[in-house]
Amino acid sequence: MSIESHKADALSYLLELGLSRLQAETYLCLVSLGRSKASRLAKELGLVRPEVYRILSELMKRELVTKLLASPAQYEAIDPEHGLRMLVSEFSHKAKELAVQYGEIRSFIDNSTRSTEPPESEFKLLPRRDRVIQSTLSMINRAGSYLDVVYSKWGMARLTKNSPGLRALAGAHKRGVRIRIVAQISESNYKQAAAAKKYAQIRHADDITFYINLCDGKEVLFGPKLADSDLIDQQVDVWTNNKTFANAFQGMFDALWEGARRYRLNAKRV
């Protein structure tokens, strides 16, 4: 594997652990240089110096970078092993907090379905990956006017040639359904994104941490981002035809779509 491939893998891992792209690139650049002045970092990263100072300040707050007493000041990345352990610890803590919040959200949904929603409005928790996949395919097959989708990096990677998901999108496109997809596109899922572009408009957004399937503004399926290997007991996916929820997610998707970047998927590399 080339140095560039290793660097891309390291960058992807740091993004998964919660760093922004610029934070991750700056940290890796410092690891490579050993120590550096802000002016050299700005040159290496192709950024203006005030932006580099801002990023360094953020990394120092996370204790990933230290400022050395020198004139002019120099900066040094902490030992990568220690830094990665801290990031993993932060990530694990956040996951535990989300697990606690899940109970509160489920209680809210249960109360909403009993007391405030009309009989035709439903909420369904989908605890198993096979049920999520089946529900997703059913929604795509029901779509009559439009379908809006948010995929994580691995969610897009699963649209392989002849996969049920890609075939369903092809069928919806053939029926005249307008399909829009916002996804985290990288070299790992470039081919799948290019294949999906035959049937959908596609835009790119960084750090996708969830997925959404919106069908005709009437129903929505959402949950944590699809990962390379999902643990069944960690899935917290919800389907609903609740109009209020559908409208809220539609507004969120439209805002994400407007802020996402167009990608030229006919290029060799996105």
| pLDDT-based confidence at residue 129 (cuts at 50, 70, 90) | confident
Q: Are 225 and 155 in contact (CB under 8 A)?
A: yes
Length of the chain equals 270
Q: Are 240 and 122 in contact (CB under 8 A)?
A: yes
Q: For residues 99 and 92, what is the distance between their CA atoms, to the nearest angstrom?
A: 11
Which residue segments constitute the domains of the chain, with CATH numbers given? 3-83 (1.10.10.10), 116-262 (3.30.870.10)
Q: For residues 125 and 136, what is the distance between their CA atoms, to the nearest angstrom?
A: 13
Q: Which two tokens stand for residue 7?
A: 């660097």
Mean of pLDDT values over 161-186:
92
Contacts of 179 (CB under 8 A, 6+ apart): 146, 147, 148, 149, 169, 172, 173, 199, 200, 201
Predicted local distance difference test score (pLDDT) of residue 113: 53
The region that residue 176 occupies, defined by phi over 0 for left and psi between -120 and 50 for alpha, beta otherwise, is left
Average pLDDT, the chain: 82
| pLDDT-based confidence at residue 110 (cuts at 50, 70, 90) | low
Backbone angles phi, psi at 181, to 5 degrees: -130, 130
How many other C-beta atoms lie within 10 A of the C-beta of residue 193?
A: 23
Residue-wise DSSP of 155-176:
HHHT--TT-HHHHHHHHHHHTT
Sequence-ordered alpha helix ranges (H) in the chain: 3-16, 21-33, 38-45, 49-61, 80-115, 129-142, 153-157, 164-174, 190-196, 243-259
Tens of pLDDT, residue by residue over 228-261, are 554 444 556 889 999 888 898 999 899 989 988 8
- Number of alpha carbons in the 13 Å side-chain half-sphere of residue 213: 25
Tens of pLDDT, residue by residue over 35-62, are 899 999 999 999 999 999 999 999 999 8
Give the position of tokens 């002045």.
37
